[in-house]
Amino acid sequence: MNPYEMACYQLERAAEIAGVKEDVVEYLKVPDRAVEVKVPVRMDDGSINVFTGYRVQHCGVRGPYKGGIRYHPNVTMDEVKALAMWMTWKCAVVNIPYGGGKGGVRVDVKMLSRSEIERLTRRFTAMLTPFIGPERDIPAPDMYTDEQIMAWMMDTYSVYQGYSVPGIVTGKPVSLGGSLGRTSATGRGVAIITRESAKSIGMDIKDADIAIQGFGNVGYWTAKTLFEMGANIVAVSDSRGGVYSEEGMNPDELLEFKRRTGSVVGFTDNIISNEDLLTMKVDILIPAAIENVINASNMSKINARMVVEAANGPIVPKAEEYLNKKCELVVPDILANAGGVVVSYFEWVQDLERYFWDLDRVNAELEKILVKAFERMINVKKEYGNILWRDATMVLALNSVVEALKMRGIFP
Ligand code: NAD
């Protein structure tokens, strides 16, 4: 299924549960605006290369559009449309005043020099300038885009306006108006939602054995925060493989080892494969690497009481259906990894006010918003007759978007 068809299918399923009318569903399937732009770049050798860029603004009834920009050779309009729709739901789940947006350039950045990437970023930003803005649409980093790229976007947009506009993007360096706690936000959020989810099935996070696939930004911060909550991190992995320790591992020591050697493999003598990690007996399994890792080939071997989707789409729909029967709980990505966009929202608020928060405030406000979202999702689950968590999360999001749409009405 292409990603846009999948997003439409998920919308239809949630709409059926929530009793949303067909004409509203059709309205929500189509993005408010989808632009395709030409991005010509003068290469280092003097030649011109023309790339294609996209920005999709899915549904702006709850506020300005918000979502990342990815640089990847497989970026398509349908992919960006799906990702923008998912951002609408994610923002609504955590009740932050945004609609979904997403963008990208079809490019293999590994083939470009840093200065070529800078020129590509600046031209792409110039082409998007009529459509974006701190009150309109606020991009952020995604695959193969980082805080330096956000700094170039912010600078280019600001040059056009004639003054500094820090609120045009989030995920900027702190020196340009980025927020403290942004880097850790997604993993910290995963840990908070994991703790609340465990509590709901009578599991104390302090007694929990946890396996985490992927030890990048999200995996490390998830492990570190859960470790600080008292959990036992028994297994971690990266693209080269994984390690196991029955008595648990300290994520900071793991990170130090990975920095020194390039991988977590070898941190303990007990070396495992990624497949071993996914299928081992643990209380909580957290896939935090890439999509589709739990699928028809390994779903029957999953041996965890609870699976938390820290990555985007790590469980294919068929496997999720199976795990919903086998495990006590499957926590969906749009709830589990929403911490990143919440702190992006904090960054934007700080930029608009030109008043910056300390880390304790960022973390405390993140905790408050996520716990509230969790409680709202549980209430929806009960209200609709004990539906699955993913359905409850989608219904929560859909209801809040539909309510805003109803109040605003259709113009003219
Ligand atoms: P990252 O690049 O920092 O880390 C990815 C990790 O996964 C690395 O440790 C890598 O070695 C490992 N990995 C890659 N391929 C693997 C494989 N085949 N098997 C096992 N491990 C593999 O990326 P990240 O920012 O931590 O993002 C991880 C996931 O979380 C992605 O799905 C991303 O879309 C999602 N996500 C990230 C954020 C964020 O703020 N960074 C927000 C929401 C969702």
Report the percent of the chain where pLDDT is more than 70.
100
Question: Who wins on pLDDT, 2 or 348?
Answer: 348
What does the alpha-carbon distance between residue 105 and residue 38 come to, in Å, rounded to a whole number? 10
Whether 274 is in the pocket of ligand 1, judged by its Cβ within 6 Å, is yes
To test ligand 1's pocket by mutation, which of 217, 243, 343, 370 has the most ligand atoms within 8 angstroms of CB? 217
Amino acid identity, residue 390? R
Nearest CA to ligand 1 atom 16: 239
Q: Please tell me the number of Cα atoms within 13 Å of 354 on its side-chain side.
A: 2
Residue 291: CB atoms within 10 A of its CB come to: 16
Residue 329 has pLDDT above 90, yes or no: yes
Residue 324: CB atoms within 10 A of its CB come to: 17
Whether 220 is in the pocket of ligand 1, judged by its Cβ within 6 Å, is no
Three-state DSSP state, 181: coil
Q: How confident is the model at residue 207 (pLDDT cuts 50, 70, 90)?
A: confident
What does the alpha-carbon distance between residue 119 and residue 239 come to, in Å, rounded to a whole number? 31
DSSP-derived letter for residue 179 is P
Residue 1 has pLDDT above 80, yes or no: no
Q: How far is CA 155 from the centre of its chain?
A: 25
Q: What is the mean pLDDT of residues 315-327?
A: 94
What's the gap in Å between 127 CA and the centre of ligand 1? 29
Whether 184 is in the pocket of ligand 1, judged by its Cβ within 6 Å, is no
What's the gap in Å between 318 CA and the centre of ligand 1? 22
3-state SS of the chain: helix, strand, coil percent to 5? 50, 20, 30
Whether 245 is in the pocket of ligand 1, judged by its Cβ within 6 Å, is no
Three-state DSSP state, 408: helix
Whether 366 is in the pocket of ligand 1, judged by its Cβ within 6 Å, is no
Pairing of strands 48-57, 271-272: unpaired
Tell me the pTM. Answer: 0.96
> Quick check: 72 and 104 in contact, CB under 8 A?
yes
Residue 185 has pLDDT above 90, yes or no: yes
Q: What is the pLDDT of residue 260?
A: 98
Q: What is the pLDDT of residue 171?
A: 97
> Quick check: 15 and 25 in contact, CB under 8 A?
yes
Q: What is the mean pLDDT of residues 243-247?
A: 97
Q: What is the mean pLDDT of residues 259-275?
A: 97
Q: Is 292 left (phi over 0), alpha (psi -120 to 50) or beta?
A: left
Residue 338 has pLDDT above 90, yes or no: yes
What's the gap in Å between 213 CA and the centre of ligand 1? 9
To test ligand 1's pocket by mutation, which of 90, 238, 308 has the most ligand atoms within 8 angstroms of CB? 238
Whether 239 is in the pocket of ligand 1, judged by its Cβ within 6 Å, is yes
> Quick check: 234 and 248 in contact, CB under 8 A?
yes
What's the gap in Å between 106 CA and the centre of ligand 1? 20
What's the gap in Å between 239 CA and the centre of ligand 1? 10
Three-state DSSP state, 34: strand
What does the alpha-carbon distance between residue 130 and residue 46 come to, in Å, rounded to a whole number? 28
| CA–CA distances in Å: residue 408 to residues 42, 63, 136, 163 | 45, 12, 17, 33
pLDDT tens profile 137-151: 999 999 999 999 999
pLDDT tens profile 357-407: 999 999 999 999 999 999 999 999 999 998 999 999 999 999 999 999 999
Q: How confident is the model at residue 59 (pLDDT cuts 50, 70, 90)?
A: very high
Residue 242 has pLDDT above 90, yes or no: yes
Pairing of strands 99-106, 33-42: unpaired
Q: What is the pLDDT of residue 2?
A: 85
Helix ranges (DSSP H) in 290-358 = 317-326, 333-336, 339-353
Q: Encoding tokens for residue 221?
A: 């911060």
State the chain's mean pLDDT as an integer.
97
Q: What is the pLDDT of residue 386?
A: 86
> Quick check: 302 and 285 in contact, CB under 8 A?
yes
Domains and CATH numbers, the chain: 3-167 (3.40.50.10860), 183-336 (3.40.50.720)
Q: Which of 102, 224, 258, 381 is catalytic?
A: 102
What does the alpha-carbon distance between residue 278 and residue 275 come to, in Å, rounded to a whole number? 5
Q: What is the mean pLDDT of residues 347-354?
A: 98
What's the gap in Å between 374 CA and the centre of ligand 1? 23
Give the list of residues 6+ apart from residue 82 with CB closer than 8 angstroms, or none: 2, 3, 4, 6, 7
Whether 235 is in the pocket of ligand 1, judged by its Cβ within 6 Å, is no
372 is catalytic: no
